[in-house]
Amino acid sequence: MIIGLTGYFAAGKSEASRIFKENNFFVIDVDKLGHQILENPEIKQKLLDYFGSEIVEDNKISRQRLGSIVFQDKSKRQFLNSLVHPKIKEQIKIIIQQHSSQNILIDAALLFEMNLHTLVDFVLFITADESILIKRGKQRNNFSEKKIKNILIAQKEFKDKEKLSHTVITNNTNLSDFQAKIKLFIQNQIQN
């Protein structure tokens, strides 16, 4: 079984992913794959040509610097995505083949935007009220409210994410309540 996990920034995807891993799912962290692809020499050069050296820190692409540029400029975000997303999808297909005997979780904030939902059997979407997402983002990432709102605006451009998902879990309460919801979801999926 392949499950796609998606949802909004600071909604609880990392915690959900951790619980899936505890329940013997092989977890593909699309964000980590993206980090690796940014250091691919060919991709890195294209990014430098397009964005300039301001995105480099300690001879590596600074995701923070790159993020602050692309979350404010849709055309720059589209350029980045057109460069990186196909490479990520290629890698994911290879990983799925390598782990075909296991249950797999694809943890991807941009599951639909990257067309990764075409690789999964089931999509789980994690959401929370915007005020809660902002509060968590400030605490967890030390981001400004403006930065968090820019991220959420970018993530909400694909309006039908929740409708296209098979199950939506709202994470507005406490951690133990959310963990129980994820465990129940996994239990129901494995039994079916």
pLDDT score at 192: 64
With respect to residue 24, please indicate whether it lies within any of the assigned structural domains: yes
For the domain that residue 117 is a member of, what is the CATH number? Answer: 3.40.50.300
With respect to residue 156, please indicate whether it lies within any of the assigned structural domains: yes
With respect to residue 44, please indicate whether it lies within any of the assigned structural domains: yes
pLDDT score at 72: 83
The order of strands in the sheet holding 122-127 is 25-29, 103-107, 2-7, 122-127, 167-170
With respect to residue 177, please indicate whether it lies within any of the assigned structural domains: yes
> pLDDT 10s per residue in the chain (192 long)?
999 999 999 999 999 999 999 999 999 999 999 999 999 999 999 999 999 999 999 989 998 899 889 988 889 999 999 999 999 999 999 999 999 999 999 999 989 989 999 999 999 999 999 999 999 999 988 888 988 888 888 777 767 888 899 999 999 999 999 999 999 999 998 766
Residue-wise pLDDT tens digits, 165-192: 999 999 999 999 999 999 999 999 876 6
Please give the Cα distance from 26 to 140 (Å, whole number).
25
With respect to residue 192, please indicate whether it lies within any of the assigned structural domains: no
Structural domain boundaries, residue 182 = 2-187
pLDDT score at 151: 83
pLDDT score at 179: 96
Q: How many domains does the chain have?
A: 1
pTM for the full predicted model: 0.90
With respect to residue 100, please indicate whether it lies within any of the assigned structural domains: yes
Among 10, 11, 18, CA closest to 171: 11
Bridge-based pairing of strands 2-7 and 122-127 is parallel
